[in-house]
Amino acid sequence: MHLRLKIDESSEAPIYRQISEQIAALIKSGRLRRGEHLPPERELALQLKIARGTVKKAYESLVNQRYIVAARGRGSTVAIDAESEGYDGPADTHADYKGEDRGSDETRRKRPDTEEFEPVSGASRPAANEASSVGIPAYASRAEQADHMITEAIIGLEDLGFNYKQISDLFGLMLARRREQVSHFAIASVDCNPEALGIYQKQLAMLTHMNTARILLTDLHAAASADAMLEPFDLILTTSNHVEELRKLAPKMSGKVVPVIVAPTQATLIALARLENGSRAGVLHQSGRFLSIIRGWLQKSGFHGDVKGFNTELETAEELESFVSDRSVLVTPPGFAAQLSGEHLRVINRFRMNGGQLIDFEYQIERGSLLHLEELIRSLINKTRK
């Protein structure tokens, strides 16, 4: 379909608004009829020789004003009631699509003759099986949300008259500046055994790109001043059973201490539960505390077979070779590959290739604790904007 639209480069009105207003006029005049398909965004962008994002924003404005409906796989079509008698159109066709023109929950309810929205407890949201062009759905993936946010930013910069080279340079500059700001933010994790310290890094990587410093409680006890040792950090994480001990060790830092609840992952628990009692289990560890924890979880899983520990810091690869020769399953600590020497890792790989079972004992931060952490980290990082 070919739409005869005209772009006035000298106009003060943004291009997306020129497009939406002209399409709205075609609909109101009846030249575009109910149910008629509009050109795909890419096709119209090529026709008008403009960015696809500009067309996308124009279509979003038309959906918001209920001139058209959009559904994944079906494209954009003129709304069933867009030209019906008595339809007055939007209250303000010049409202920018920045959120303020979306209307109340009541005005955005699903109209009985469209499929775009459905009411949910007095509010509205895009139908679960269709992607609305109005904003980004709450259930969209992180990648989809990022795409939407960046597209909106680019369109806004286009409307300000920036060319693509300038936009690219500006993004690079702002990203470098932001990285410098955030680089001053620091997190520390504190625990009684080195194996447990590996649990934080993986999950916190989803919240922030920064590394987490790992500190043993024994090191804090040995320090001249635990307060001074922890002073550089903005957040200090520890498991709930070590909170009071840590706050007594470093009373001046107690306000920074955040307790988290940790537990083995579901995959780990399932692997432990499937162990046969006749199995001969070996536990790779750096501390007696971790070996004790694993023994406890093996008992909870119902395993009553033979369990022996191997200290990877004190014993050689040759001793490990002898140890695994008598074991049918090895339980390894979180992130063990980064903690062991190449010789130790080669022994473990041979054990696995010869039919031995490997269980990576992975912890996870409980969801409630993780959500609380995410909010704290976001709040602290946002302070760097000031």
pLDDT at 208: 58
pLDDT at 3: 83
- What span, in angstroms and rounded, lies between the C-alpha atoms of 155 and 353? 54
Residue 308 pLDDT > 90: yes
pLDDT at 105: 39
pLDDT at 9: 83
What's the gap between Cα 23 and its chain centre? 37
**Prediction pTM value:** 0.50
Mean pLDDT of 34-39: 87
Residue 115 pLDDT > 60: no
Each residue of 137-152: pLDDT tens digit?
555 677 777 888 888 8
Mean pLDDT of 213-230: 91
Q: Which residue bears the tokens 């499937």?
A: 274
Residue 166 pLDDT > 50: yes
Mean pLDDT of 169-177: 87
Name the architecture of domain 187-263+368-385.
3-Layer(aba) Sandwich (3.40)
Residue 220 pLDDT > 90: yes
What is the three-state SS of the chain?
Answer: CCCCCCCCCCCCCCHHHHHHHHHHHHHHHCCCCCCCECCCHHHHHHHHCCCHHHHHHHHHHHHHCCCEEEECCCEEEECCCCCCCCCCCCCCCCCCCCCCCCCCCCCCCCCCCCCCEEEECCEEEECCCCCCCCCCCCCCCHHHHHHHHHHHHHHHHHHCCCCHHHHHHHHHHHHHHHHHHHCCCCEEEEECCHHHHHHHHHHHCCCCCCCEEEEEHHHHHHCCCHHHHHCCCCEEEEEHHHHHHHHHHCHHHHHHEEEECEEECHHHHHHHHCCCCCCEEEEEECCHHHHHHHHHHHHHCCCCCEEEEEECCCCCHHHHHHHHCCCCEEEECCCHHHHCCHHHHHHHHHHHHCCCEEEECCEEECHHHHHHHHHHHHHHHHHHHC
Q: What percent of the chain has pLDDT over 90?
A: 28
User: For the domain 15-139, what is the CATH code?
Assistant: 1.10.10.10
User: For the domain 266-361, what is the CATH code?
Assistant: 3.40.50.1860
Mean pLDDT of 78-106: 44
Segments of the chain assigned to CATH 1.10.10.10: 15-139
pLDDT at 182: 67
Gap between the terminal Cα atoms of the chain: 50
